[in-house]
Structure 1
Amino acid sequence: MQTLDTTSLANDTVTSQTTLEVQDATAITTNNHHIIPRAASYNPSSDLVGASNADGSSVENIGTNPIVNGDAIGVLITDSSGNILWVNNSDISLPTNKLQEGAYIENYYALTAQGLVDYTNWQTTTASGGHTVGDFINSGQATTSDYVKSTTELTVTNFVLPFAGGAGNQFLYLMIGLAAFGALGFYLSQRRKAEMDLEVNNKEILGKNDNKRSNIYLTSRHTHPYAKIFHTKNRTHLAQAHRKGTNEL
């Protein structure tokens, strides 16, 4: 170890250098899964849950038009075979019937502070203008330090409004069928209860003597439908009681 004397200290300067590294806090969060109807327009921003800039500040307009570190969030949608079917920014809606029924992977990309610099440089070296963040990612020129990523599983169904046909109509028919079965069950239970009450009443009639039985029967005809009385097992006995009571008058 070498020491410095007072003369050297007066003539020389001792310095120390520290390297300061700033952590990029860019982040995005999306829904894990989303089911959409094929015949409806879909905006990918609707699946964004949250996002933050490189300095840690929160991103506004999540779900509509989010801007991260001064630029849009890019979106790439691929099918189950890995084919890229959609490349754009998250605030651009897919037209109706763009995707067929099936399962898709929707990848969201937000540029980091370094990514924004690289994206700007890439745009200046690209022949045609109007390239989106999604185009930059899809070009293969972006590195992993240029972006943060979040993935949503997207399922497209054939569900449409009932009057337009499709799965929506099938669901409506199912609900109508269940309601009809429920109404039929209620009707049958009420009818069975009414028949049981009438059968008890008929048994009471048959327990009377002939004259009283005939009079009660005539009263029953005014209070109960004729068909219901004669649909019981005792209809023959009731008819005999009626004839006998009439002959004795």
Structure 2
Amino acid sequence: MAFSRTMLSSVVLALFSLVAVGQAQLSTTFYSSSCPTALSIVRQQVDSILASNPNLAGGLQRLHFHDCFVRGCDASVLLFSASSTNQEKDAQPNQNSLRGFQQIDQVNSALEAACPGVVSCADILAIVARDATVKAGGQTWPVLLGRRDGTVSLASEALAALPSPLLNLGQLIQNFAAVGLNASDMIVLSGAHTFGRARCGPVLNRLYNFNGVNGQTDPSMDSTLAANLKKQCPPNEVTTIITMDSSPNVFDRTY
């Protein structure tokens, strides 16, 4: 599927809408006095991270998306308790799937060295997602800043809120509406899958067990794509990481 520049702009605007949901009195200049080098520090860190590992761009964007879909953009996806496994990161859609936690810690450490206790982790996730997308070839967008970090993180909420790959169109529309996004937002946000990777698990039912029929492939799938995915994903192989785009490290017009 080829994206026009207008459609790419729509992806950016939809991301911006998701970031802004539930936020009030935010500003692009929130840290201009308290930490004037904040944006340049984040950009330098992202440049360094992606220079070492270009395929993390999609993961860093996705980390922000999964955070915003649960309780808003409050960095609750980063919370961790040594005595519990019930945080958002432990939910089935996130466990052994989300990437970039160590890199966010790296960015946070650099900011803490320059401006201790000033920049919220929620804002770090938002800026990193933007800068990673731009570094991968996507368009930029203004990031409103001034979020406060959340203190509650529940796996049950992540499981209930995050869109499942098994949802049909109507269910997906309802799922996005729950966080203030319409069907058009949902469609253009799907364009973020122009980069990044996935595991075999979410696509196996369409390759080998469509509608519960053993051995049946979803007839609506492109036959060449289905054949390629079967080569990468044998039956019952759920953990193998695969690419489903010809340019998985680039935010481009091919999806």
The alignment's TM-score, normalised by the length of structure 2, stands at 0.19
Task: Identify, as 1 or 2, the structure richer in helix.
Answer: 2
Larger Rg belongs to: 1
**Greater share of residues in strand:** 1
